[in-house]
Amino acid sequence: MQNGWWGRNKEHMLNEAKPRVANRRNQAGIPSPANHLLLKISLVEVLNQKEETSKTQNRGFSEGTCGSGSATTLILCLLVPMKFTCLSKGKGYHYPPCQMINMCGLRILLDCPIDLSALTIFSTVLANSHQTPNVKTSNSFIQNSVSNSGDQKRRRVNEALEADNLIKAVPWYKTVNTMHLLDTSFIDVILISSPMGILGLPFLTRNKNFSAKIYATEATARIGQLMMEDLVAMHMEYRQLYGYEEDRFPHWLKWEELETLPSELRETIMGVDGADLGSWQPLYSVTDVKDCIQKVQSVRFAEEVCFNGTLIIKAFSSGLEIGSSNWTIHGPRRNITCLSSSIFESAHAMNFDYSSLQGNDLILFSDFSLLHDEVDVSKDSFAPLNYMESEVNHPTACSFSALRNNDNDGENFIKSLVGAEEYSEEMDKLSFICSCAIDSVREGGSVLVPIGRLGIVLQLLEQLSQSLESANLNVPIFLISSVAEELLAFTNIVPEWLCELRQQKLYAGDALFGHVELIKEKKLHLFPAVHSPNFLKLWQEPCIVFSPHWSLRLGPVVHLLHRWCRDQHCLLILEQEVDTALALSPFKPVAMKVLQCSFLSGMKMQKIKPLLEILRPKFVLFPEDLKQNLAMKMTSCSFIHYSENEIVRVPTVRGDFEVDLAADLAFQLQPRRMKQENMAIARLKGQLLVSHGKYFLVSRRQLIDSSQSRMLMQYSTREEKRTLLQWGLLDPNLVLLVLQEKGISGLVDEDRSGGEHNAYFVHIYEPKNGLIEITPTQTVISTADETLASTIFEAINNILDGI
């Protein structure tokens, strides 16, 4: 029966598919993916719609004429208001949020992850199992399958998931659902904040229109690259085992097949209202990954990089993983902190560097970890017998409110921020895992750890070996992954990216992580794959195996799980993000113990408020979904709530622009003291530049050509007179008095026309005839004589306020 899926005649399927899609959609009342796509597109059009100015700027950029921000259009762009869109709020640690900022006319994409939890909809394949159908022989089933599949599928809808329900095909990968609708060429900058946030990047960079500048920390780029290479390797292995399949539109994405899927799977594939249908992509290749990494400009923590002369971009440690970062973007008009999931005190990565984020106007808060913490861990569908809950029940340790009352000086806030309870909680979890592992090993069972978090793996390696030693157990630890060796070697050469404690090891001359010693002592063995030479020689059970992938669909873990899933003494350690019921369905019945553990993957709720108080932003872009979790009022800053795929306009903070005036230009100023107040004004003339995210006003360049400089000179004297600005009331008698000193005499005549404003006429008769007409808003000098006119003008000009 199941073979029918595999050997399905594609031609037949294609023929049948079209009419059925149209009919079913309307009858069943399921929102049509096409319609929905239309809605989506309208949103994306808005996203893609470049302001006129930025388009021209883009063009200038490609021509290479745009220097350090001296193009006119560039400055125009800076006047464009800031917009923000959350493209995806993600699903916790392995699928971080993805966002788009539009500032200074530039589009900045934050992270480009993929949803690897969606891999669980696919079936597993094994090299040497009878369950796996051989593709070559499956041809004989074609006839049967066509007739049978219909009934069978319909029956399935409300049943519990069986292994057979899973999709038997080479996996495709689920990207952020609006990403494929975005015009790649419109993205200017991509900021990657964690290794998980880089996994979807090759999907963008392999697009030939891609031209964005990508920034990531060195460690993030390296670990990300290894993760992608590992993913590609595991995928290739799957493909090899599965057999050749043409690169074409997969059958399971066809409407008719989607309908027959169990609702759970269908939801994963289609998302709410079918929005996700377009987000599925076939995996990138090794070359794609290489090309992608080559396009990444790697930075160190707190390294300043200047994009386009306009934006200063810096990364600061977020503490989540080695190299993971929070980004700050300084523009001439606005400073933004992109606050991703952050951990105040990490046992491996450098701690959350929050103090460097101080003083920015806007915080884009995108730590969604609280949202995923709420997820109930236990699942009914899964046999509760062998299921352990490891959530160490900790008191919420909220000493914060007490602190708040005591004083306001901020010192205590900082203390409350970096309180050690988080750290010790995590340590407790790890030691609990270790004790469970030891128990299993004692019973003769092996332990399988398909955890995808580098930090947890590194710490577990250290702690497990210690536990084994103290329990006097001689059990080998294996780390099986195509990048195992490289990854572990890498972690030992990155002291700059690690926490204080690890850095102390550097100064003491010890290896940064315990695995260096373990490998030397032959307690830990690294293998690229289960079929590696020497692997069987060293293999012994019970043992402890770390291997990818946490989705339980790819990699060595599949083979080992098939081997151990019936053994009740064995132990499987999973992360909380994994949907156990679905993930384990191909391995049913599962007798082995399963330990699911949630690890800290962001800020605790009680720390958010003190953090914001320290950072003092003017605006916080805060997720709508977390609004309930965090009922807080802060007088100092205003909150703007955002939801997925909703464009948020961010109000401008500053009315004025900050400009640096060059000293030599300042000395050239000829200030004129004003009659009122302590004020002086001066004409300002210079050249405006944008450089390094700042405006500069400098003296104008000397022209090389003499004729041009002469022209400029003439022009500027005339221009000076033309821009002359005068104000104030003119007293005709005073005018007369002043004129008399210059040998000009006349008579004052009042308001002849009788208008609403008093008008005065000063008749000049000496030396020549003339007239000065004076109203509050206008003074007219009339005479036939040029010299007289200019003398009168000078006199009046001196009386009036002007510049």
Nearer to another protein, 397 or 711 (CB): 711
Please report, as residue ranges, which positions from 76 to 105 form the binding site for another protein (by CB under 8 A): 76, 79
| Cβ–Cβ < 8 Å for 440, 593 | yes
Residue 427 within binding range of another protein, rule CB under 8 A: no
| Binding of residue 314 to another protein (CB under 8 A) | yes
Q: Which of 214, 199, 374 is closest to 281 using CA atoms?
A: 199
Closest CB to another protein among residues 395, 533: 533
Q: Which of 376, 521, 721, 755 binds another protein (CB under 8 A)?
A: 721
Tell me the C-alpha distance between 498 and 453, whole Å: 15
Window 328 to 357, contacts with another protein (CB under 8 A): 356
Interatomic CA distance for residues 230 and 125, integer angstroms: 18
Shortest gap between Cβ of 753 and another protein (angstroms)? 9
634 makes contact with another protein (CB under 8 A): no
Interatomic CA distance for residues 641 and 648, integer angstroms: 8
Examine residue 789 and tell whether it contacts another protein (CB under 8 A): yes
Q: Which of 486, 517, 541, 625 binds another protein (CB under 8 A)?
A: 486
Query: Least distance from C-beta 543 to another protein, angstroms?
Result: 25
3-state secondary structure 65-92: CCCCCCCHHHHHHCCCCEEEEEEECCCC
Range 157-186, binding another protein (CB under 8 A) = none
Sheet holding 571-575, edge to edge: 387-389, 593-597, 571-575, 447-449, 544-546, 477-480, 524-527
- How far apart are the C-alpha atoms of 212 and 103, rounded to whole Å? 15
Compute CA distances 60 → 245, 326, 691, whole Å: 45, 30, 17
Pick the closer one to another protein by CB: 357 or 449: 357
3-state SS string for 90-133: CCCCCCCCEEEEEECCEEEEECCCEEHHHHHHECCCCCCCCCCC
The contact mask relative to another protein for 286-305 (x = CB under 8 A, - = no) is -------------xxxxxx-
Helices of type H across 243-285: 255-260, 263-270
Residues 391-420 that bind another protein (CB under 8 A): none
Binds another protein by CB under 8 A, chosen from 509, 589, 743, 754: 509
Nearer to another protein, 431 or 699 (CB): 699
The window from 130-138, 336-344, 451-459, 485-493 that contacts another protein (CB under 8 A) reads: 485-493
Footprint (CB under 8 A) of another protein, residues 735-774: 761, 769-771, 773
Near another protein by CB under 8 A: residue from 472, 678, 706, 798: 678
Stretch that binds another protein, among 80-88, 242-250, 286-294, 494-502 (CB under 8 A): 494-502
Q: Which residues contact 312 (CB under 8 A, 6 or more apart)?
A: 304, 305, 306, 329, 330, 692, 693
Does residue 661 belong to the site contacting another protein (CB under 8 A)? Answer: yes
H/E element holding 648? Answer: strand 647-650
Query: From the CB of residue 738, how many other CB atoms can be counted at a distance below 10 Å?
Result: 17
Q: Which is nearer to another protein, 343 or 796 (CB)?
A: 796
Span near another protein by CB under 8 A; candidates 249-257, 468-476, 489-497, 550-558: 489-497
Looking at the Cβ atoms of 244 and 507, the one nearer to another protein is 507
Smallest gap from Cβ 300 to another protein, in A, equals 5
Kindly provide the b/e burial profile for residues 599-620, where b requires at least 16 CB atoms within 10 angstroms of the residue's own CB: bbbbbbbbbbbbbbbebebbbb
Residue with tokens 């788009």: 100
Q: Which residue matches tokens 């995806």? A: 88
Q: Nearest-CA neighbor of 94 among 111, 112, 117?
A: 117
Q: Restricting to residues 131-160, which ones interact with another protein according to CB under 8 A? A: none
- Using the minimum distance from each CB to another protein, give the nearer residue, 210 or 327: 327
Give the 3-state secondary structure of residue 449: strand
Interface with another protein in residues 37-56 (CB under 8 A)? none
Return the number of the residue (628 or 707) whose C-beta is nearest another protein.
707
- Site pattern 356..375 for another protein (x: CB under 8 A): x-------------------
Among 666, 713, 734, 747, binds another protein (CB under 8 A): 666
Looking at the Cβ atoms of 357 and 461, the one nearer to another protein is 357
Please give the residues from 679 up to 698 whose contact with another protein meets the rule CB under 8 A: 679-688, 695-697
Q: Which two tokens stand for residue 742?
A: 């210059």
Which residue in 177, 756, 230, 157 sits closest to 457, CA to CA? 230
Contact 321, 238 (CB under 8 A): no
Q: Which of 294, 507, 628, 743 binds another protein (CB under 8 A)?
A: 507
Candidate residues 1, 9, 520, 715; the one interacting with another protein per rule CB under 8 A: 715
